[in-house]
């Protein structure tokens, strides 16, 4: 039997807030969110990758952003504190933020291929499970936007979204690796 303590209840709320934070793309003045990919495994660190576009207004008009929620670190902190008094200061999640300039061609290629996809809005295949990974991929913001979410594997007809998801992740990770190597 699992003993439910205040720290467990606090953890579940904390986890929900951290995941919601990653599902919401980061905002940067003068930039538009073009693409946002989120990876939410049940027990590992969660990650979000965002492609931001400033158009012709900036010397580096495309920026890749990666945010990582350090789930295990936060769980250890909450567990170490045990049952805290109700009036204790609220804990905040450990989310690491990295960003790097990216080539416009990468963004244009990803958005161009996304525009060519024909994704059925409804699918016959439904999946259920306890543990695993949730994926979310969204395009645009404000007046025109689309968000797709799936568990474990993209449903039939959504395979192209899974490929684009992987490309967004790779593009941002590669840009960040280049900055780290150059710096």
Distance, in Å, from the CA atom of 105 to the CA atom of 165, rounded to the nearest integer, reads: 17
The pLDDT assigned to 71 comes to 85
Q: What is the 3-state secondary structure (H, E, C) of 47-112?
A: EEEEEEECHHHCCCCEEEEEEEECHHHHHHHHHHHCCCCCCCCCCCCCEEEEEEECCHHHHHHHHH
55 contacts: CB under 8 Å, gap ≥ 6? 32, 61
Q: Is 124 helix (H, G, I), strand (E, B) or coil?
A: coil
Q: Could you tell me which residues are beta bridge partners of residue 63? A: 52, 101
Residues 6+ apart with CB under 8 A from 44: 71, 72
Per-residue pLDDT at 2: 41
Contacts from 123-131 at CB under 8 Å and sequence distance 24+? 123/155, 123/156, 123/157, 123/158, 124/156, 125/155, 125/156, 127/151, 127/152, 127/153, 127/155, 130/42, 131/42, 131/43
Residue 15 pLDDT: 87
Q: The pTM is what?
A: 0.86
Tens-of-pLDDT digits for all 183 residues of the chain? 344 445 567 778 888 889 999 999 998 888 999 999 999 998 899 999 999 998 877 677 899 999 999 888 877 877 777 666 666 666 777 899 999 999 999 999 999 999 999 988 876 666 666 788 999 999 988 788 899 999 999 988 899 999 999 999 999 999 999 877 765
Owner of token pair 């259920």 = 128
Q: How far apart are CA 162 and CA 157, in angstroms?
A: 10
Please report, in angstroms and rounded to a whole number, the separation of the first and last CA atoms in the chain: 51
pLDDT of residue 7: 59
Q: Which residues pair with 66 in a beta bridge?
A: 49, 98
Which domains are present in the chain? 6-182 (3.30.1560)
């Amino acid at each position: 039997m699992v003993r439910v303590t205040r720290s467990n209840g606090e953890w579940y709320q904390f986890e929900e807030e951290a995941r919601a934070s990653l599902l919401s793309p980061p905002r940067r003045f003068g930039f538009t969110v073009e693409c946002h990919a989120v990876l939410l495994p049940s027990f590992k660190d969660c990650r979000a990758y965002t492609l931001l576009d400033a158009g012709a207004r900036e010397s580096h008009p495309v920026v890749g952003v990666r945010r990582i929620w350090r789930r295990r670190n936060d769980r250890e902190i909450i567990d170490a504190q045990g049952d805290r008094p109700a009036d204790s200061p609220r804990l905040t999640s450990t989310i690491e933020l990295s960003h790097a300039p990216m080539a416009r061609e990468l963004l244009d290629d990803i958005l161009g291929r996304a525009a060519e996809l024909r994704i059925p809005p409804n699918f016959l295949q439904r999946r259920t499970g306890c543990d695993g990974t949730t994926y979310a991929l969204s395009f645009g913001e404000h007046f025109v936007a689309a968000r797709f979410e799936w568990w474990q594997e993209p449903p039939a007809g959504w395979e192209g979204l899974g490929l684009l998801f992987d490309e967004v992740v790779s593009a941002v990770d590669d840009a960040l690796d280049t900055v780290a190597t150059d710096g």
